[in-house]
Amino acid sequence: MGRVSDVVYGLAEEVGRQLGLEVVEVTFAKEGRDAVLRITIDKPEGITSDDCERFSKAIDGLLDEADPIAGPYLLEVSSPGLERPLKKAADFMRFAGQKAELRLNAAFKVRKRWQGILRGWDPAGEGGVILEVDGALLTIPWSLVARAKLMPDWS
């Protein structure tokens, strides 16, 4: 069996398809004395508490059946919030025109952190994030991106 988050992601994707919801992220981590399985879901018009409840009920039986987690854990299902993580090429296309932050695992043009306006995804090679920074377009290789997220625009 693979990593817990990978196994659960597959189950969550199945539930998401059935309910018309996108699975944004699945994390499994120890937080203090508790093990927490966190599943983040979304849909174009935004997530409601009813969506979270429906998803939680739907995946609960699958988790019991697959039993990917040894021992007790807490299940949290939530919306991605204002600082939505960007995980796949489709995310960069969908949210083009919005402000984003990229944190890199290695420097690109001397910096490991970039903020700008998303302009899309470059499918060439391994892919890259197209970001407008100070009027200039940059294509940051996907292999360098450790974390990408939307940034709320408070202006």
pLDDT block averages, 10 residues each, the chain of length 155:
80 96 93 93 94 96 88 94 93 96 96 97 94 96 96 81
Rg (CA), the chain: 17
Quick check: do 4-78 and 89-150 share a fold? Answer: no
Q: Do 4 and 69 form a contact (C-beta atoms < 8 A)? A: yes
- The domain limits of the chain are 4-78, 89-150
Helix ranges, 3-103 (H): 4-19, 49-66, 89-94
Looking at residue 87, its pLDDT comes to 92
Tokens describing residue 52: 């979270």
At residue 4, the pLDDT reads: 84
Q: What architecture does CATH give domain 4-78?
A: 2-Layer Sandwich (3.30)
CATH of domain 89-150: 2.30.30
What's residue 2's pLDDT? 53
